[in-house]
Amino acid sequence: MAIHGIVTIDQHHQISFSLKSDAMNSMGVLVRRLFLLGGLGLLSLIVACGGSGVEAGDATSSSNPPGTSNAPSTGVTTLKPPKLSFSDTGLSVSDGVTRNGLWAVESDYSWEFSLDQGVTWTIGSGSSFEVKGDGPKMIWVRARDNAGNKSEIVVVTCVLDTMAPAPVSVTASVDGYTRSLEVAGLEANAKWEYSLDNKMNWNPGSGSGLGTLGNGLSMIWLRQVDVAGNASEAQVFDLSAAGSDMSHEASTNPLQPSTMAKGLLTMLIHGVVVRGDADYVRWDIPKNHRLKSVKLVRYVSEDAIAFYAIQSSNVFDAGVDVSRMLVYGHMGPADLNRNVVANIPAEKLGEGPMTIWFQQTGALPTEYAIEISLQAVN
């Protein structure tokens, strides 16, 4: 949605302002274009908010078309305005908050920019410029030529945030067979992530922390990412430390599966399996929640194929009857981060127990970790 407004400034510096709204394509950043119409003191303003990497110069108005004169009586030519774009980093690509102060400029002429609302201007070079210093930014850009002709002023705004947040604090607790890592110290609107491979890859988490059940993982790294996309220093937690009591061999009995603690939105089932050593683990989906995803997030084995199946039950008594399984199939390196319930109807993913069966049918040991993610629903 764009908000179009007309601001009129008369010779006595009195300002009148009117608004109207209509639909237009999302633009990514807060974009305003100022049109100085000769000596009339008429200022037209356009505001557009939306997606990332927009070209600010695409905004249009009811003023004179680009490349025509605003003041024909003086013979001054108004040049075509430049187009601007930037990368809106972070958790949202439409909030104008970024850790990257680089702006790309596309112009048919030379161009200049101002960071103090036109008091001073800096001649641009190349096809970009960079703003520095954290905080809100208002940037004016216009085209110019050697004859002194200028374009309309394109005004863009963003909030630059390049400071990494503080590390999260992690508190470990045990509830039955579930070992939970509660995450605290998040900035407003920040999100936490975890890594299982020494910070090489990161997985987003939700809820108050990460629940783990199994005996396959040893180290977990946790960090937060702020709204601009800055990541904190990672905190490492050793699941295998002496006396930590963070390891549990998942049940091999399908009628008595190991059970995850309740109240968690992000859970990890992990272990080491070989032929004849199946793992059975149950979790419960509470009221007003549903299963969002089941993903293989770690797989270490020379055997690239293992087997999994999920049954909507507090036990796994389906045996090999696939008609009683919610989903089943092979899992291996090619399936990393694939949501195996993505095509299951939402009504089958709601409140109630679920049990997973994971097994390696070959003789080679397989280390695995499967992420279970829940989400609240209306």
pLDDT by residue (tens digit) across 26-77?
333 333 333 333 332 323 333 333 333 434 433 322 233 334 333 444 567 8
pLDDT by residue (tens digit) across 197-216?
999 999 999 999 999 999 99
pLDDT by residue (tens digit) across 309-366?
999 999 999 999 999 999 999 999 999 999 999 999 999 999 999 999 999 989 999 9
Q: Cα dihedral sign for 311, 312, 315, 319?
A: negative
Closest CA to 160 of 127, 136, 181: 136
Report d(CA 68, CA 77) in Å as an integer. Answer: 6
Please give the radius of gyration of the chain, using alpha carbons only, rounded to the nearest integer: 29
Report d(CA 363, CA 271) in Å as an integer. Answer: 15
Is residue 57 classed as helix, strand or coil in its secondary structure? helix
Asked whether residue 191 carries a pLDDT value surpassing 70, the answer given is yes
Report d(CA 345, CA 343) in Å as an integer. Answer: 6
Using an 8 Å Cβ cutoff, are 309 and 327 in contact? yes
Q: Which helix (DSSP H) or strand (DSSP E) does residue 276 occupy?
A: none
Work out the average pLDDT over 134-140.
Answer: 95
Is residue 334 classed as helix, strand or coil in its secondary structure? helix
